[in-house]
Amino acid sequence: MKVNILYLIPLLLLFGCGEKQTVARYTSWQSSQTEEKIIRQTLRNFEKKYPNISYQFQPIPGNYTEKLQLMLGTGKAPDLFWLKGDTSPAYMSFDVLEPLDSFLEQDTDFEIDDFFPVFRDAFKYRGKNYGVAKDFNAYVLFYNKRMFAEAGLDTVPTTWQELYTFSKKLTKDTNGDGKIDQYGFVIEPSIDIVMPFAYQNGGEIITEDGEIKIGEPEFIEATEFMMSLYRDGIATNPADVGAGWMGDVFSRRQCAMAISGAWLIPYLKDNAPNLEYGVVELPRGKRKATLAFSVAMVIPKQSTHKEDAWQMLSYLSGKEGMKTWTESGIALPTRKSVAEENGFYQDSLYSVFMKSVDYAKLYKVNMQERWFDDSQAAMQGIFYKKKDIAQTLQELAVTLEKYKLD
Amino acid sequence: MKFKSRKKEQFFWGYLFLAFPLLLLTVFVFFPIGFAFAVSFFDWNLLIPDKPFVGLGNYIELFKDPVFIKAIKNTIIYTAGVVPVQTLLSLFLAFIMNQKIRGRAFFRTAFYIPAITSSVVTSIIFVWIYSKPGLLNYLLNSAGIESNIDWLTNPLTVLPSIMMLNIWTTSGYFMVSFLAGLQNIPSSLYEAAKIDGANQWQQFWKITVPMVRPVTYFVVIMSLIGCFQVFDQIFIMSSGGPDNASTTMSYFVYQNSFKYFRFGFGAASAAILALLIFATTVIQKKYFPPDAY
C-alpha cells in the first residue's frame, strides 16, 4: 500500500499540476468499437468543415457518470460532453450546465424545430434549454416469426389482452420433458419495463407539477398486468433461464416476444444471425405509449471554450453530423429530416421506431437519482418476494416524496 | 551536527527517516480521514459550490433511512457468518498443510490462488456458478438434491452465496498466516504430548490452537475489517439487490456519494462504519487479547 503511494507521488507532481486547457475538449462514452469508429468519422468530417476549430476528443471508457462528476467538481470538465437522459434532471437542478437558448437563437442553421416534438424540449428545465438530444431509442416489441407460425398466429398482439393470450399460446414444452422451455414473453423486475404500460394506462411516476402518482390505481394496474404474465408462468425472467438480459433470452429462442430498444438489432445480428424476427409497436392500453431514451449533448457552465463547443455541438447534432452518426442504425435520429434522409420511414424495422416517436414519453424522471434504486428495489420485492403490489407501490410513493427536486 | 545528548541525536535521525513516509501518510491517509469526518457534518454536493453545515443532520437522517438500517443488518450478518468460518477453515487448512502429506506444495498453491486472483474475476466466475443453469445447481441436482433457484436473485440466498465466495477466496490467504504460526510451534511439544498418549484431535485443540493464538488474533481482526468493508463482490454480483437484500454499508456509502451526489451523507455513513469497526476491534482486544491462554 505504502509502496503504491510512493510511486504515485512523482507522477502526480509531474502531471497533476498546472494543467491548462487551451482547446475545447469533447467527451463521450464508448460502448462498442463500431460506435467509436463512427464517432471518429463524424469528427473527421467536422474537421474538414471547420478547420479553424481545434479540439481534443477524450472518451471515457468506463464509470462515466462517476468520472464526470469528479471532473465537474474539480473544475476540469470537458467543454462538450454526453449526458444520459435519466441523470440529466439532477445536473440541470445543480445549475452546472450552460443554458443553450442564446446559441439556439443565434445559430439559424441549427433549426431546432426539425427535432421531433418529444425531443425538442427534452432537456428543458425551468424554461431553459440545457441540452440537445443527440439521438434516441424507444421500446418496441420484438417477436420471433417462426414461433408465431408454429403456434398458428398470423397477427401480432396489439392490446394488453392479446399480449396475454398470445403469450399463453406461445408458452410450451417443445421437447416433451415436462418442463417449459419456450415462454411467450420475458420481463425483468425493472421499473422501466412497467413505465410504458403505466403511461398507456394513464399513470405516471411524477407529474410535471411534481405530484407523485406511482401509488395511484393506474400505475398499480399496469404493474399488476405485467406481473400477472410472470406469475401465471407465461413470461420468464432472464435470471430464470440463466440469461443476462431480456434481449439475450430472445436471442436464445427461449421466449417468443420481448420488449427492447433498437440496441437489440445489432445484438441479434451477432448472436443469432438466423433468427427470423419482426418488430412492431408496443401493444396498447387505454392509449398508445412507449418509453424513449435519449442522450443530451451539453456544455458545462465552467467551460472556457463555449463558442467552439457550441460549434461542435451544432455540427454533431446538426443535419450533417447526425446523418453520419445515425445512418448505419446504431442510433436513431432525433431530427425528422435525418430520419427521412436515412430512409428509416421505409425500413420494416426502423419505421416502427419512427412511428413510436409520435406518442413516446421521454425516460427522464424529475427526481433525485435515488428514486431509481428505490423503485427498482420495490419492483424486486414484488417480483422475488411476492410482495403485495398495491401496498408496495403506495409505500414507494411515500418514500419518493423525499427525492423531489426543489 | 552536534547534539546535546545521544538521546536527542537518535530522536533527530529517527524522525528524519520517518519524515517522508509520515508526510505521505498525512496527505493520503490521515488528512482524508479527518476531512471525510468533517464533510459528514455538511450537505456536501461536489457540483454545488454552496455546502451548508447541517450539524448532525446527516446522522439523524441515516438512522431514519430503512435502506441504511438494512445495510447495517446485512453487514453484521455477513461479518458474523464469514469471520468464524473463515478463521476455523484457514486454521484447519494450515494444520493439514503442515503435515507431511503427498503433494503438499500443490495443495498449498491451490488454496492460495483464490487469494491472489482479482476479486472481480472470482466474482464474475461465481456469478456463473450461482446462476440458475450454473454449476452449483448442476452439482446439487447430480447429488440428488432438487435445486432450481437462481442464487443471486433470491433474497434468501444472495447474501449467504456471497459469504461463501468470500470464505473461499480469503481462507487461503489466512492459511499462510497460520502456517507461519504453526511452524513456530516447537515439535517437542507434540512429541511430549504423543508420549503422554494424546491423539491428533487432542493435539490440535490443546497445543496447536493455544499456541497460534497471536496469529488467530491477527487473522480475526483482519478478516473482521475486511468483512465490514465488503464492496467489490456486492458491486459486481448483486448490486445490493434484490430489494436491498445484499446492500452492505460500503455499498451504501458508494451509492450515496458517487451516484446520488451526496458526499456528506455518504461520509456520515462511512463514519458509522468506521465506528463499528473500531468498537469491534476494541472489544476483541479487551476480551480476547492475543497473548492470554
pLDDT of B292 > 80? The answer is no
Confidence of residue A209 (pLDDT cuts 50, 70, 90): confident
CB contact under 8 A, B243 and A377: yes
User: Residue A340 in contact with residue A332, Cβ under 8 Å?
Assistant: no
Q: What is the mean pLDDT of residues A181-190?
A: 92
Q: Is the pLDDT of residue B165 over 80?
A: yes
Stretch B70-90: mean pLDDT? 95
H helices of A12-143, in order, are 33-49, 64-73, 88-93, 101-106, 117-120
Residue B31 pLDDT more than 90? Answer: yes
Check if the beta carbon of residue A78 is closer than 8 Å to that of residue A27.
Answer: yes
**What's the CA gap between A250 and B178, in Å, rounded?**
51
Q: Between B9 and B253, whose confidence is greater?
A: B253
Question: CATH no. for residue A319?
Answer: 3.40.190.10
pLDDT tens string A225-264: 999 999 999 999 998 888 888 999 999 999 999 999 998 9
- Read off the pLDDT of each residue in A115-126 and give the average, rounded to a whole number: 90
pLDDT per residue as tens digits for the range B223-255: 999 999 999 999 999 888 799 999 999 999 999
Domains of chain B as residue ranges with CATH: 53-287 (1.10.3720.10)
Question: A356 and A309, same structural domain?
Answer: yes
Average pLDDT over residues B191-213: 89
- Most A CBs within 10 A among B235, B259, B265, B269, hence the mutation to make, goes to B259
A4 falls within a domain: no
pLDDT band at A328 (very low <50, low <70, confident <90, very high): confident
Residues A67 and A153 in one domain: no
pLDDT in the model for residue B289? 82
Q: Are residues A194 and A184 in the same domain?
A: yes
Task: Determine the pLDDT at residue B50.
Answer: 86
Q: Give dist(CA B169, CA B237) in Å, integer.
A: 15
Model confidence band, residue A21 (pLDDT cutoffs 50, 70, 90)? low
Query: Tens digit of pLDDT for each residue in B251-274?
Result: 999 999 988 889 999 999 999 999
C-alpha cell at A135: 439521438
pLDDT (0 to 100) of residue B1: 64
If one compares A138 and B292, the residue with the highest pLDDT of the two is: A138
From the list B24, B242, B259, the residue facing A369 with the nearest CB is: B259
Instruction: State yes or no: pLDDT of A9 exceeds 50.
Output: no
Residue at grid coordinates 493439514? B96
Q: Is the pLDDT of residue B8 over 50?
A: yes
The minimum CA-CA distance between A160 and chain B, rounded to whole Å, is: 27
Supply the DSSP string of B49-99, one letter for each residue: S---B-TTHHHHHHHH-HHHHHHHHHHHHHHHHHHHHHHHHHHHHHHHHTS
Give yes or no for residue A6 having a pLDDT over 60. Answer: no
Q: Is 70 exceeded by the pLDDT of residue A67?
A: yes
What's the confidence (pLDDT) of residue A10?
Answer: 46
Instruction: Tell me which chain B residues have a C-beta less than 8 angstroms from the C-beta of A73.
Output: 46-47
B203 and chain A in contact, CB less than 8 A: no
Looking at beta carbons, which residues of chain A come within 8 Å of B256?
Answer: 370
B45/chain A closest Cα distance in angstroms: 9
Residue A69 has pLDDT above 90, yes or no: no
Q: How many whole angstroms separate alpha carbon A235 and alpha carbon A215?
A: 24
In this structure, is residue A1 part of a structural domain?
A: no
Q: Residue A1 pLDDT more than 60?
A: no
The answer to whether position A335 is within a domain reads yes
Q: ipTM score here?
A: 0.84
Number of domain units in chain A: 2
> Which grid cell is A261?
430498444
Tell whether A215 and A278 lie within a shared domain. Answer: yes
A145 and A230 together in one domain: yes
Is the domain of A186 the same as that of A223? yes
Nearest to B241 among A5, A95, A377 (CB): A377
| B261 shares contact with chain A (CB less than 8 Å) | yes
**What are the residues whose beta carbons fall under 8 Å from the beta carbon of B19, sequence distance 6 or more?**
none
Residue A62, Cβ density class (10 Å: 0-12 exposed, 13-18 middle, ≥19 buried):
exposed
Q: Do A271 and A309 fall into the same domain?
A: no
CB pairs under 8 A between A and B: 80
Per CB-CB distance under 8 Å, the chain B contacts of A191 are none
A189 CB neighbours in chain B (<8 A) are: 242
CA distance A258 to A277: 11
Q: Are residues A286 and A302 in the same domain?
A: no
Number of Cβ within a 10 Å radius of residue A274: 7
B243: left (phi over 0), alpha (psi -120 to 50) or beta: left
Query: pLDDT-derived band of residue A3, with 50, 70 and 90 as boundaries?
Result: very low
**Domain membership flag for residue A8:** no
CA angle A249, A250, A251 (to 5 degrees): 95
Mean pLDDT of chain A: 89
pLDDT at A208: 85
Kindly state whether residue A166 falls inside one of the protein's structural domains.
Answer: yes
From chain A, pick out residues whose CB is under 8 angstroms from the CB of B124.
none
The residue whose grid cell reads 399496469 is: A222
d(CA B174, CA A52): 62
B244 touches chain A (CB under 8 A): yes
Instruction: Return the half-sphere exposure (C-beta side, CA atoms, 13 A cut-off) of residue B174.
Output: 30
Instruction: Tell me, yes or no, if B131 comes closer than 8 A to chain A by beta carbon.
Output: yes
Which runs of consecutive H residues, i.e. helices, occur in A190-305?
Answer: 191-200, 217-231, 246-251, 264-271
Select from B47, B133, B244 the Cβ nearest to the Cβ of A94.
Answer: B47
Q: A198: pLDDT confidence band, cut at 50, 70 and 90?
A: very high
Q: Which residues of A touch B134 (CB under 8 A)?
A: 242
Q: Within a domain: residue A6?
A: no
Residues of A in contact with B154 (CB under 8 A): 384
**A222 and A328, same domain (yes or no):** no
Angstrom distance (rounded) from CA A195 to CA B60: 33
Inter-chain CB proximity A384 and B244 less than 8 Å: no
Alpha-carbon span B183 to B180, nearest angstrom: 5
pLDDT of residue B148: 81
Q: Which residue has the cell 409520435?
A: A358
CB-CB: which of A65, A66, A242 is closest to B133?
Answer: A242
Which chain A residue has the Cα nearest residue B258? A66
Query: Is-contact A296 A133, C-beta < 8 A?
Result: yes
**pLDDT over 90 (residue B99):** no
Out of B45, B154, B255, name the one closest to residue A94 (CB): B45
- Test B21 with A373 for CB contact under 8 angstroms: no
**pLDDT 10s digits, A329-364:** 888 999 999 999 999 999 989 999 999 999 999 999
pLDDT-derived band at B201 (thresholds 50, 70, 90) equals: confident
Range of the domain at A381: 140-291+365-403
* Within-domain flag for A86: yes
Name the band, by pLDDT with cuts 50, 70 and 90, for residue A14: very low
Q: Do A113 and A125 reside in the same domain of the chain? A: yes
- Once rounded to an integer, what is the mean pLDDT over residues A8-12? 46
Strand partners, A135: A295
Return the percentage of chain B with pLDDT > 70, whole number: 99
pLDDT band with cut points at 50, 70 and 90 for residue A287: very high
In this complex, the residue of B25, B48, B153 whose CB is nearest that of residue A239 is: B153
Residue at A5 is within a domain: no
> B151 to chain A: nearest residue by CA?
A239
Residue B48: pLDDT band (50, 70, 90) is confident
Nearest to A261 by CA among A232, A227, A230, A295: A295
Residue with cell 454526453: A82
Q: Are residues A205 and A323 in the same domain?
A: no
Q: Are residues A297 and A286 part of one domain?
A: no
**Percent over 70 (pLDDT), chain A:** 95
Give the helix/strand (H/E) hosting A257: strand A257-260
